[in-house]
Amino acid sequence: MQYFVQQLINGLTLGSIYGLIAIGYTMVYGIIGMINFAHGDIFMVGAFTALIVFLILSALFYSVPVVIALLIMMIVAMLLTSLYNWTIEKVAYRPLRGSFRLAPLITAIGMSIALSNFVQVTQGPRNKPIPPMVSKVYDINGISVSLKQIIIVIVTALLLALFWYLVNKTSLGRAQRACEQDRKMAALLGIDVDRTISITFIMGASLAAVAGTLFLMYYGVVAFSDGFVPGVKAFTAAVLGGIGSLPGAVLGGLLIGFIESMWSAYFSIDYKDVAAFSILAIVLIFLPSGILGRPEVEKV
């Protein structure tokens, strides 16, 4: 039982990171019906930005409290990735918004490759490690719970609550929901659709940057290729939970995290990705809109 609970905690931690990335996918898809496949690489850029900020802080100051260092890393990463995502949306996606559906998808894949290669050229192909930022571990009846796992879960819960409030209780959220239902009608009612979509991309990038910072803190290493696999799994989590639903994105992320953790613990770690995608296929056979997703209503 102790081993089982330990794997649950590990899965909760991993799933929280997937959930943060998945929210960005589900918000963009909910408004413009597009999968931003560059989102995983935005997450990777956020992790690298946090790494660079950490190295600068370590060089300039002898000792910085971990809380302050993490906060600065998150803020700078959020600002830079928001700028990246805003630029990508304005330059690469907005001109293709009214074109055939395959064009934005191909462009998104191209932006993903461009970001990955840009980081590879500027930062090098090798893994970039950092010293452990948070090393405290609590032992509870033989179950190890590290402080960094607690930080990841708390940050995920707080951000989910904040973004749920923004989407459901603010004027920006009403504008986003109006654009999700009908962009043309929203524009006729005075909503700046382009601005609303740009802000949505910025919000998604901010969450990806936080996830990247937490990923760096948890694993202590990052590489230019780290955007692809977490990005695909976060997209899987968004589809599994019900793409377009914020709680569904986090729920899907947690399920993917639990499946990976349990499969690695009790079966073969080599096939944990196969297990996660197999569960996705099974769920979508019986629930095509995902666990918390709503069936899409075709407008006539």
Q: Can you give the pLDDT at residue 67?
A: 87
Q: Can you give the pLDDT at residue 45?
A: 93
| pLDDT at residue 300 tops 80 | no
Give backbone dihedrals phi and psi of 298, rounded to 5 degrees, phi first. -80, 125
Mean pLDDT of 3-25: 89
Mean pLDDT of 50-73: 89
pTM here is: 0.89
Interatomic CA distance for residues 255 and 22, integer angstroms: 12
Q: How confident is the model at residue 52 (pLDDT cuts 50, 70, 90)?
A: very high
The continuous run of DSSP H or E covering 221 comes out as strand 221-222
Strands (E), 59-146: 128-129, 137-140, 143-146
| pLDDT at residue 272 tops 80 | no
Q: How confident is the model at residue 295 (pLDDT cuts 50, 70, 90)?
A: low
Tens digit of pLDDT for each residue in 239-266? 888 877 888 888 888 988 888 888 888 8
Interatomic CA distance for residues 15 and 234, integer angstroms: 9
Q: Can you give the pLDDT at residue 72?
A: 93
Q: Tell me the angle at which helices 171-181 and 147-169 cross, rounded to the nearest 10 degrees.
A: 70
Interatomic CA distance for residues 16 and 12, integer angstroms: 6
Sign of CA dihedral 231, 205, 19, 266: positive
3-state helix, strand, coil in the chain (%, to 5): 75, 5, 20
Q: How far apart are the first and last CA of the chain?
A: 54
